[in-house]
Chain A
């Protein structure tokens, strides 16, 4: 059960860089696409391409035409008599992707990073718009002259005169120490 969920979710193994764990759970596999385009019947044995689980429950192509059936018959005999092409064909009947094909990098990261930047950009636009149209006027206490008078008042009050604020002001010279 866990296996099936894992196969669906395509987890694993700390992706050794490039390890493609995309599960291929499609019943109608004979048309050779293998990407799940229709709802998968999970009550029947599944096919998958997984590095960590090399032998799936069923061969990739289980609906065989005449040529394939003849090939499977030949497979029952000595394998030394099969040509290289026949062996590759037999492999491809059973498996959709070879290990190197499974481990191919997909370039998906570019989509992800690109998407991140796009959404960050859109967010930036939203922030700019809202600072013009949404924020209320700034409080008057933010104004330059108000801030200056506030600072002067703090010094006059001797705020933190020992170690903090006013301690840093040189009262004789009228400037910061």
Chain B
């Protein structure tokens, strides 16, 4: 488990520019690339018969990482919400991602822009559109 944690930590600079991670080996194992990480998570949420628990577990774990998930992972997660008829979680995911961006205020608008077609297709309103982004 410790090695896995190190792998995730070593992989944790998810930047929009996709520069390859500076090689810092914390263990002797192979370090997962950004692309592999993304692909793994997209696959996780793409499971056709994903259940509610798996969605929650996946999202909570993903949000626990020191990174903001890529648009394609979020796209996959939102579609999973649709399969589970869970609009609330879809909106919650958007809120969580905005919060994860922290001081980097440009990440969230970028993601919303990237997810635009998906949000339109699935009929998901952003927190801003619903007015719940303000107190």
Contact = CB atoms under 8 A, between A and B. Distances in A.
Interface of A: 16, 51-57, 59, 75-76, 78-82, 84, 87-88, 90-91, 93-95, 98-101, 103-104
Given A91-B92, A100-B133, A100-B135, 13 more contacts: A51-B99, A55-B92, A56-B56, A80-B122, A81-B123, A87-B130, A90-B87, A91-B91, A94-B86, A95-B88, A98-B95, A99-B95, A103-B99
A54 B60 contact: yes
A87 B88 CA distance: 8
Interface in B81-105: 82, 85-89, 91-93, 95-96, 98-99, 102
Contact of A79 (B98, B99, B122): B122
A107 to B, nearest CB: 14
B87 A99 contact: no
Contacts of B63: 52-54
B95 A82 contact: no
Given A94-B89, A100-B133, A54 B123 contact: no
B64 A88 contact: no
A96 to B, nearest CB: 11
SS of B interface (majority): helix
Nearest to A100: B135
Contacts of B127: 98-99
Contacts of B132: 88, 91, 98, 100
Contacts of B133: 98-100
Nearest to A92: B88
22 contacts: A51-B96, A52-B64, A53-B60, A53-B63, A54-B92, A54-B95, A55-B89, A75-B85, A75-B87, A79-B82, A79-B87, A79-B123, A84-B129, A84-B131, A87-B87, A87-B91, A87-B125, A88-B131, A94-B86, A94-B88, A94-B92, A95-B88
